[in-house]
Amino acid sequence: MVGGRDFDVGHSREHYRGALLHGDGPAHAYNARDLTARIAPDSMPLPTTLASRRRLCVALTSCVALPAWAQFRVEISGVGATQLPVAIARFRDEDKAGPNAALSAIIRADLERSGQFRNLDVAAAFDETSQPSMSEWRGRGADAFVAGSVSRLADGRWDVRYKLWDVVKGQDLGGQSLAVVTADLRLAAHRVADAVYERLTGDKGVFATRIAYVTRAANRYTLRITDADGEGGQVALTSVEAIISPAWSPDGHELAYVSFESQKAVVWVQDVASGQRRQVANFRGSNSAPTWSPDGRQLVLSLSRDGGTQLYSMGRDGGALKRLTQSNAIDTEAVFAPDGRTLYFVSDRGGGPQVYRMPASGGNAERVTFAGAYNISPAVSPDGRTLAYVARLGGGAFRLHTMDLAGGNVLALTDTNDDESPSFAPNGKLIIYASRAQGRDVLMTSTLDGRIKTRLLSSGLDVREPVWGPFNR
Amino acid sequence: MKRLPLIFGALAVTLFAAGCSSPVKLDDKSDVPIESRTPTPAGAGGAAQGAGQSQVTTVNVDKSATTSVARIVYFDYDSYVVKDEFRPLIESQAKRLAANRNQRATIEGHTDERGGREYNLALGQKRAEAVLKSLTLLGVADTQLEAVSFGKERPAVQGSDEAAWAKNRRAELKDR
């Protein structure tokens, strides 16, 4: 079972491989049935012109129609985005591993969605033992080349192998072998994409991470978990009452969330793999806005048990309750800075709601946002340098912004009017957030400069409350 | 006392709470016993599963402690001040609750759709607590009441104009 308790996305090849070799038993993290028909290799991004330059200035919106239930579509806007041209060959025998196994298509789609890569067409057959001509691929404009294969192991699992070449330097950058059960073939493809991404950009990839969000359809609320590409969706909780504010535990095993199933806001923590859940806060009044400390031992949340909405901390199982704020105002939406020492939160102690910060154990709060009368829903980047939040503008538009915490510079990332709930990818390169388009609640991702956005396509569902899971799963 | 409206309201609200996707219409009431073939006790969760047309959920009016008629106080935008026009409602409810110390009630605060879910949840809580405070000042025991909030999650009216928003900025007092 990939995604088991002790799995850690290691950098080291041995660890990586070793963890995947545990891949037996019930696949909690994946459900093969859900994957069927969601992968559409013939609808992947069209190959770009072979005569293109090493670095392409993108000034267009590329729209790729994908007939999937849920998938992120790339919408590149603005100018000057640089993209690395990569050639990813079809993995030898990838079609023999069943409908989940369009590995090269999944890898290509992952890299394309990051906004940092552009896929070149590869017509000829290659695998990881091939000797692709570097000069030929240089001539065709590729910076990197990936080839691989899928083969069945004696125990029924699949051996996914790949190799990466630096075409510009004419260098073999090595490869990996991943042994996985059938249900984890998509995960294997995401892990290959992560390895390629990390090798070529120097940053860890997030393709093998997961996202949680809430959908609403026909008055039914569903807390869902999907791969970072929006596929492989599974249901964690379904209810006729609202579910809001999901929050991943730092180990990626649990989700805290607010459910109104008992006709009031109660905070639950649910083990994702087993479905076991427990109430951690059901005090008098409302219980909401849970967030985990980076070490996973504590939850901070908003309670009205003593009147007003104030911040409290508690142990992960609900014990050791401690009040953190003592204001007559609303204090809510707390999040930890990655070092665990500071809490960012929303308070209207100065009139309208603004983002403040204070020591994680409580104490003097310092105002962080100043522009505008209404700034809510803070999220701190994994490096602690950037604050994402939603600001209400003069005309009543709610728009995703970032603030450089050292310099205080503020940037509007979107031109939409109903942005909500920003959450950083664990590598800090993307922000996922909720917005509205064509009368529906939708999920979007944006790069930190706002230039490259993707939208989760989901037919007929209102989608909201996204939260990006950690590297661990 | 308003006996009949109370019981009828309780029935309607219970049906709604049992999983119907829209408020129960008055006309539909007569259909309930006629269609009944396999009555499911309320609370068994049968209706919540999206049952077919033959499915009928038995409503136990005696047990509908959480679903009595709602008394509604409306609020101005971004405000949790109980307006004077709702004083008579608050006073009559305070009198009723103070006269019956065993009667408990929930005050549910709500907001319009604008703004963040969590901040709106806190705003709705403030509205509910403002009504709670008004009632306790008029003699209702604090232990009889609980103020909770649904934020913007349970609008009374769909729509994105001031008319809809005004109907959604509210606190509902419900016996339980």
Q: Give which of A363, A326, A244 is closest to B119, Cα–Cα.
A: A244
Length of chain A: 473
CB-defined contacts A:B, below 8 A:
96
- Contact list in B for residue A286 (CB cut-off 8 A) is 121-122, 125, 148-149
Query: Cα separation of B71 and A406, whole Å?
Result: 50
Query: Cα separation of B132 and A235, whole Å?
Result: 38
Using DSSP's 3-state secondary structure scheme, residue A451 falls into coil
> What residue has token string 């890299």?
A111
- The CATH code that applies to domain A13-57+81-201 is 3.40.50.10070
Element housing A30 (H / E):
none
Regarding whether B82 and B58 lie in a shared domain, the answer is: no
- Contact list in B for residue A243 (CB cut-off 8 A) is none
**Angle formed at CA A268 by CA A264 and CA A272, multiple of 5 degrees:** 140
Q: Which residues of chain A fall below pLDDT 70?
A: 1-81, 99-101, 458-459
Give the CATH number, domain containing residue B153. Answer: 3.30.1330.60
Regarding whether B88 and B161 lie in a shared domain, the answer is: yes
* Contact across the interface for A374 and B115, Cβ inside 8 Å: yes
Supply the DSSP string of chain B, one letter for each residue. Answer: --HHHHHHHHHHHHHHHTT-SSPPPGGGGGHHHHT-SS-B-TTS-TGGG---TT--BPP-GGG-TT----EEEE--TT--PPPGGGHHHHHHHHHHHHH-TT--EEEEEE--S-S-HHHHHHHHHHHHHHHHHHHHHTT--GGGEEEEEEETSS-SS--SSHHHHHHHSEEEEEE-
B40 or A295, greater pLDDT: A295
Beta bridge partners of B175: B105
* Contact across the interface for B121 and A307, Cβ inside 8 Å: no
pLDDT band at B34 (very low <50, low <70, confident <90, very high): very low
Q: How much is the pLDDT for A83?
A: 85
Query: Cα separation of A153 and A324, whole Å?
Result: 55
Helical packing angle, A185-201 and A13-21, nearest 10°? 170
Q: Give which of A219, A212, A214, A287 is closest to A255, Cα–Cα.
A: A212
pLDDT band at B70 (very low <50, low <70, confident <90, very high): low
Best A245, A263, A287 member to test B by mutation, with max B CBs in 10 Å, is A263
Q: Which residues contact B108 (CB under 8 A, 6 or more apart)?
A: B124, B128, B148, B149, B150, B154, B171, B172, B174
Query: Cα separation of A41 and A129, whole Å?
Result: 24
Regarding whether B136 and B78 lie in a shared domain, the answer is: yes
pLDDT band at B76 (very low <50, low <70, confident <90, very high): very high
A 295-314 residues with CB below 8 A of B? 302, 304, 307-309
A372 vs B: CB within 8 A: no
Q: How much is the pLDDT for A78?
A: 53
Domain ranges of chain A: 13-57+81-201, 210-468
Structural domain total, chain B: 2
| Strand A117-120 versus strand A84-88 pairing type | parallel
- Contact list in B for residue A309 (CB cut-off 8 A) is 121-122, 125-126
How far off is chain B from A291, nearest CA to CA, in Å? 13
Regarding whether B87 and B165 lie in a shared domain, the answer is: yes
Q: Where are the alpha helices (DSSP H) in A60-204?
A: 103-113, 134-139, 185-201
Residue A140 tokens read as 């065709």
Burial class from Cβ neighbours inside 10 Å (0-12, 13-18, 19+) for residue A393 reads middle
Q: How much is the pLDDT for A26?
A: 31
Q: Give which of A378, A380, A391, A307 is closest to A337, Cα–Cα.
A: A380
Contacting A with CB below 8 Å, chain B residues are 19, 21, 48, 50, 66, 106, 114-119, 121-123, 125-126, 129, 146-151, 153-154
Q: Look up the domain containing B53 and give its range.
A: 3-63
Query: Cα separation of A285 and A272, whole Å?
Result: 27
Residue A196 tokens read as 């390629």
Identify which of A242, A244, A286 has the shortest CB distance to residue B125.
Answer: A286
Q: Which residue of B has its CA nearest to A464?
A: B117
Regarding whether B127 and B96 lie in a shared domain, the answer is: yes
Element housing A141 (H / E):
none
Regarding whether B168 and B113 lie in a shared domain, the answer is: yes
Using DSSP's 3-state secondary structure scheme, residue A205 falls into coil
Element housing A13 (H / E):
helix A13-21
Rounded to 10 degrees, the C-alpha dihedral A471/A171/A163/A187 comes to 20
* Contact across the interface for B19 and A240, Cβ inside 8 Å: yes
Regarding whether B79 and B55 lie in a shared domain, the answer is: no
- A326 secondary structure, DSSP code: -
Best B119, B133, B146 member to test A by mutation, with max A CBs in 10 Å, is B119
List Cα–Cα distances, A82 to A58, A109, A445, B99, in angstroms.
Answer: 7, 17, 18, 73
ipTM: 0.82
Q: Which of B63, B84, B105 is the last residue of a domain?
A: B63
Regarding whether B86 and B58 lie in a shared domain, the answer is: no
Average pLDDT along chain B: 74
CATH class of A210-468: mainly beta
Beta bridge partners of A376: A390
Regarding whether B171 and B88 lie in a shared domain, the answer is: yes
Rounded to 10 degrees, the C-alpha dihedral A220/A217/B157/A398 comes to 110
* Contact across the interface for B121 and A333, Cβ inside 8 Å: no
A260's torsion region: left (phi>0), alpha (psi -120 to 50) or beta? alpha
Query: Cα separation of A140 and A120, whole Å?
Result: 8
Beta bridge partners of A399: A391
* Contact across the interface for B153 and A285, Cβ inside 8 Å: no
> What residue has token string 């849920």?
A70
- Contact list in B for residue A308 (CB cut-off 8 A) is 125-126, 129
B65 or A396, greater pLDDT: A396
For residues B106-122, give the mean pLDDT.
97
List Cα–Cα distances, A3 to A203, A223, A227, A231, A270, in angstroms.
Answer: 21, 19, 12, 16, 16
Contact B68, B8 (CB under 8 A): no
* Contact across the interface for A302 and B21, Cβ inside 8 Å: no
- Contact list in A for residue B48 (CB cut-off 8 A) is 240
Query: Cα separation of A78 and A128, whole Å?
Result: 37
Regarding whether B38 and B15 lie in a shared domain, the answer is: yes
Q: How much is the pLDDT for A92?
A: 93
Using DSSP's 3-state secondary structure scheme, residue A182 falls into helix
Q: How much is the pLDDT for B35?
A: 38
Using DSSP's 3-state secondary structure scheme, residue A181 falls into coil
Regarding whether B112 and B53 lie in a shared domain, the answer is: no
Contact A221, B129 (CB under 8 A): no
Task: Print burial letters for A199-213: b (CB count within 10 Å at least 16), e (below 16).
Answer: ebbeebbbbbbbbbb
Residue B80 tokens read as 């949790």
Regarding whether B56 and B91 lie in a shared domain, the answer is: no
Using DSSP's 3-state secondary structure scheme, residue A284 falls into coil
Beta bridge partners of A221: A216, A239
Q: Which residue of B has its CA nearest to A374?
A: B115
* Contact across the interface for B117 and A285, Cβ inside 8 Å: no
The type of residue at A195 is A
Q: How much is the pLDDT for A140?
A: 94
| Strand A354-359 versus strand A366-367 pairing type | antiparallel
A265 vs B: CB within 8 A: yes
Q: Which residues contact A148 (CB under 8 A, 6 or more apart)?
A: A89, A91, A92, A103, A104, A127, A128, A160, A161, A162, A163, A175, A192
